[in-house]
Structure 1
Amino acid sequence: MRRRLAKAASALVTAVLLTAGGALLTTAPAQAEPTKQTQVQAGVWVNYKNYATYEACRQQGREMLNGGVVIDYECNWDSPFWLLRVRIE
């Protein structure tokens, strides 16, 4: 009788653990999904064009930003020029 009770209890514990493990596995992809959406919404940085001066680079970046062509820009020194990087959706 004790063996039957022990076997039944063991089966019950195993079933509970498997169910809990399955629940964790099914919720894991749902939790990872918002991270992917955030990365997509953040946009993609693209190297656009080189400029001889920092001011020319900033001017072009501002024009593209104000025109709604890009969502952000930055000018970085890329010897011997300034590289305009833009972020697009």
Structure 2
Amino acid sequence: MEDIPCISFPCKPQGSMAMMVELNLSLLEDISDDIDFCFKLAKEESVIILPGTAVGLKDWIRITFAADPSALRDGMQRIKSFFQRHARKQ
């Protein structure tokens, strides 16, 4: 996940099946908030994640690890592709 610039995880999980990830929306074009990020990610990449707003953390997302490792790798690759498509042009 370190190679996806728009996300960071200040607190690494320690035995949890999910983690909260902070979004850096300034690196993305046409994404207004965490809800918009999750909606567009689901529509474009068929990856479903929880917007942080649902648990009181605006502009964060919740990623769950309760899946097969190959499905997790595929999901992270899809998030990376989504980021590349929506990255703000420098």
Q: What TM-score, normalized by structure 2, do the two folds share? A: 0.31
Q: In proportion to residue count, which structure has more helix?
A: 1
Q: Which has the larger radius of gyration?
A: 1
Q: What TM-score, normalized by structure 1, do the two folds share? A: 0.32
Q: In proportion to residue count, which structure has more strand?
A: 1
